[in-house]
Structures are given as structure tokens and as C-alpha cells.
Structure 1
Amino acid sequence: MKKIITVVSLMVLLTGCGGGGGTVAGTSTSDTTIASNTTAPLESNTQATSTAAIIAAPEFDFASARTIDIQFDVPEARTTEGMLSLCTKYSSESDGTFNINYDSCLVQATLVNGLYQSQMELTNDVNSVIGVIWFADPDLAPVYKEFTLAATAGASARSANANTHPTIVWN
């Protein structure tokens, strides 16, 4: 019985691994060549017909996100405990209020004496965030501030100084 199981197991293993290394109807593996990319760069008004024709500038960074520095000094939160939420999905209403999807909050933190400093990662499609400060004192209404981020090609390109990040400041 052990021999039958061993034989069947080996057959399944060898069948699953496949062969390879053979030839296909009159060709051999030594005849295979790889074409080199000899496509010329595209002119500015030419449309690419293949990815081989696309050439990126050397400074282009294919990153899909960027780091944002956060520096908050919120006077309203210096004397009472405050909680911070930074969210990406929201809309502003005509009466000056905001409709916020709190599931989109990338930062939720406590302010210490009204101060908060950190960083967050934002995808390049996010051009603004909303900040909300919530107070432990139920008599104090939340404070809102909208931050618009520069929507430039710089979001996808390397900056001259790699240690410099866009900063949102609340003071």
C-alpha cells in the first residue's frame, strides 16, 4: 500500500512540476533572441502606442504617495484637552459647515497644550484635508480648518531637497 501511495505521489509531483527545456516544432531554445528597445523617444504631440515608447524624465519619481509634515499650535486647545482628526473625504456646505467621512481620517491624536507635530502619508490624488479639533469640555464646539495642498507635478517628482516635505500649519 505504501508503494502505491509513493508512486502516485511521485507521479503527481512530476506532472505538477512540468517538463520544460524541450523544443517546439522545429525550434530550439538556443535560437531564442530578445529584441532590444530601439524605439525613439516620442515627440511632444505624439501618442504612445506601446509602453516601450514612453520615456520618463530622469527626475520623475514613480511614487504614488507623498509625506506631509504636520505642525499644529491650536490656541483654543491650550487650556483644555483636545483631540485632532485629519480626514481626506469631506465636503463643505454653503453655511460654512463640513460634511466629513470620519472613516477617511488618517490622523487621530491628542493635542498636548494645543500642540501636535508629526507626519502623514498622502496619496497623490488627495489635494486637501480637513482638520477637526474636538474638546473634552462639552460646552466647546469643535473647530474646523481646511488645508489645501499644492496640486503640482512636484507631487510625483523628486524635490531638490529630498528631506523637505510640504507642511500644513494650524496656528
Structure 2
Amino acid sequence: MHNIHIKVLLGFAMLMTISGCGGGGGGGETSSGSINSTASSTPSAVTASTTRIADIQIDHSNNLASVYDVEITVSLPHLAASQVYISVCDNAGGGIESINYDNCLLKAALQSGAGNYQLRVPNHCESLIAVVNIMEPNTNPLIYTLSHNNQAETTWLIQ
């Protein structure tokens, strides 16, 4: 085991030595010549429209929160006898085809077609999509969407 680590380290050191040589370039040019040419370029000037942090004014009603709360109430009594699951996800892609179910904010089973959930949603999630999957053959999922209304708390009734 110890010999394997030494061989890996030696191989890595050899690789770093080879890649550090510059890799050619032809015509007798050296890699230091190209470094000097980029080092001599001047940095871009700072524009006159730079804002100082002391000049920024934030409205008193803005609490600078990076999340909003969503209270979700699901009431689907017509599905009470079925096995039903709900997923609530960011709807940044604009529809069910683009959902990454590994990154959903909520995945749960409904009990008798009902459920109550509290979510803390990051502000960059401007729209949410709820997918209600009914575990019966030839049954399409039910789709619901919610657009963030810039409120700290939102209630979403799915029925």
C-alpha cells in the first residue's frame, strides 16, 4: 500500500515536470517571451461611476432576507383511495420536462389525498412547480405552479 502512494506521487511529480516545460511552440520562441508580453499590458481603468458602499441606501422595509416561506396545503379528496406522491421543485426551466427531481425542495407521500408542508425557499427560485404523481396505470401527473410574489410569506393551496 505504501509503495502505491509513492508511485502515484512520483508519477504526479513527473507529469507536473513535463507539463511545466512549455510544450514547444516552434520558431525558437520561449515561454518567457509570451509571459513578458502579457505582463506589459495595462490594467483597465476604474470607471467614474463606481459606487461607494457608504452611498448605498436600502429601503427600511427591505429586511435583506435571502429566503421566503411557503405554506403548502394540499387537498385532493378525490385521490384519497390512491397512492399519491408530491414533488415541489424550482420551476426555472419552465415546465415538467426540465425538472431535476434530485434537487426538489419537497418530496412526500400524501395521506388520503392531503398534506400540509412548510418550505423555506431561496429567493432565486422565482417560480415553483408541484408535480402530483398518482400511482395508477395510464394516469398523468397533476401539475401546479406558483410564482413568487416578493412577499416574505406565501400560502399555496393545491386542490
Bin for the TM-score computed over the shorter chain = 0.5 to 0.7
How far apart, in 1, do the equivalents of 2:77 and 2:98 lie? 24
Q: In the superposition, relative to structure 1, how do residues 57 and 104 fare at CA in structure 2: closer, same or farther (>3 Å)? A: same
How far apart, in 2, do the equivalents of 1:86 and 1:108 lie? 7
Q: CA deviation at 1:91?
A: 2.6
Q: Say yes or no: does 1:116 pair with 2:110.
A: no
Q: CA deviation at 1:48?
A: 6.4
Q: Say yes or no: does 1:74 pair with 2:73.
A: no
Gaps of 5+ in 2: 1-48
Post-superposition Cα deviations, 1:15-60, rounded to whole Å, max 9, x if no partner, equal xxxxxxxxxxxxxxxxxxxxxxxxxxxxxxxx76210111222222
- Correspondences of 1:157-168 after superposition (within 5 Å): 165-168=153-156
Q: CA deviation at 1:76?
A: 4.4
- What residue in structure 2 maps to residue 31 of structure 1? none
Conserved in 2, the CA contact under 8 Å of 1:71 and 1:169?
A: yes
Gaps of 5+ in 1: 1-46, 156-164
Aligned residue pairs: how many? 110
Counterpart residue type for residue 135 of structure 2? A
- With normalisation by structure 1, the TM-score equals 0.57
The Cα RMSD (Å) is 2.1
Structure number having the greater helix percentage = 2
Sequence identity of aligned pairs in percent? 25
Post-superposition Cα deviations, 1:106-141, rounded to whole Å, max 9, x if no partner, equal 000110111111110111121211111112323432
How far apart, in 1, do the equivalents of 2:99 and 2:157 lie? 20
How far apart, in 1, do the equivalents of 2:148 and 2:78 lie? 24
Conserved in 2, the CA contact under 8 Å of 1:77 and 1:111?
A: no
